[in-house]
């Protein structure tokens, strides 16, 4: 008797029932999930700097799994769903819980509401991305990507701790950053995706010099460099939207 828990296609198609899971790309996804979970554990133990660093490591691993799958031609529906669930833990639950434990719990109800806004924003952002993937312009993201939002929250914590501050020094600022990141994920503001960059094409000399400078800043102050980059990235969508709005008004008037 066929297993009622299996989809109808799998019941009547032996090929689907025998199909396995690709190890290599899902290994990166599992590693990203681990570091998201590790960030939550570190926050519970009061090691917030390690928690913030773990979120950044999860972000790097999340960026690799899709590329590895495409390079090795091991894309699968399972991998896409697994990646989404991993992102929800690493870039949705983990940043909101780390920020709550670090600064927001001193605000009482406002604190957990701010953390929930971020967590819900990440869930909605991932759901919208999965359902509009085939129709969206690949050059842009609709709303701030969840890894960038997580980097914004984790980067703020990392920079503050490295500068000698604690979460109780500015809980309201922490709440504003958390809410801003959560709301920006569900807006219709477009953010450049960097997916159309061709590494095989020649580039001007200044681009190579800028990359070398970025590596030097990363080696000198990684937390400030990363946080500064993601602050500029989070603001870039609003700047571009404002420019498009200003240009549209004279055209409408004419």
At residue 17, the pLDDT reads 47
- Between CA 212 and CA 220 the distance in angstroms is 12
Domain count, the chain: 1
pLDDT for 98 equals 97
Query: Looking at 121-130, 164-173, 205-214, which range is the least confident one?
Result: 205-214
In a domain? residue 214: yes
Does pLDDT of 203 surpass 70?
no
Lowest mean pLDDT among 5-9, 118-122, 142-146: 5-9
On whether residue 3 sits in a domain, the answer given is: no
CATH assignment at residue 25 = 1.20.120.1760
Mean pLDDT of 195-204: 69
Answer yes or no: is pLDDT of 10 > 50.
Answer: no
- pTM assigned to the model: 0.85
Structural domain contains residue 184: yes
Residue 19 pLDDT greater than 90, yes or no: no
Tell me, yes or no, whether 178 lies in a domain.
yes
pLDDT digits (tens, 9 = 90+) for 49-89: 999 999 999 999 998 888 888 888 888 888 889 999 999 99
Tell me the residue range of the domain where 96 lies. 9-249
Please give the pLDDT value at position 50.
Answer: 96
Averaged over 154-177, what is the pLDDT? 94
């Amino acid at each position: 008797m066929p297993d009622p828990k299996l989809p109808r296609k799998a019941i009547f198609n032996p090929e689907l029932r025998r199909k396995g899971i690709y190890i290599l790309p899902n290994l990166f996804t599992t590693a990203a999930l681990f570091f998201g979970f590790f960030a939550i554990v570190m926050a519970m133990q009061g090691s917030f700097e390690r928690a913030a660093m773990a979120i950044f490591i999860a972000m790097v691993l999340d960026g690799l799994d899709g590329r590895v799958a495409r390079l090795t031609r091991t894309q699968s529906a399972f991998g896409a769903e697994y990646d989404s669930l991993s992102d929800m833990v690493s870039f949705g639950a983990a940043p909101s819980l780390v920020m709550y434990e670090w600064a927001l719990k001193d605000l009482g109800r406002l604190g957990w509401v701010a953390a929930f806004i971020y967590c819900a924003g990440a869930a909605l952002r991932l759901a919208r991305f999965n359902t509009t993937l085939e129709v969206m312009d690949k050059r842009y993201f609709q709303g701030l990507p969840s890894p960038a939002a997580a980097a914004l929250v984790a980067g703020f914590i990392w920079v503050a701790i490295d500068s000698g501050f604690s979460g109780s020094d500015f809980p309201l600022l922490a709440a504003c950053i958390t809410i801003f990141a959560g709301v920006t994920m569900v807006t219709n503001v477009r953010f450049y995706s960097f997916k159309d960059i061709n590494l095989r094409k020649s580039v001007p000399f200044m681009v190579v010099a800028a990359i070398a400078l970025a590596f030097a800043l990363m080696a000198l102050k990684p937390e400030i460099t990363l946080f500064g980059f993601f602050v500029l990235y989070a603001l870039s969508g609003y700047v571009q939207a404002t420019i498009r709005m200003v240009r549209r008004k004279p055209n409408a008037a004419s």
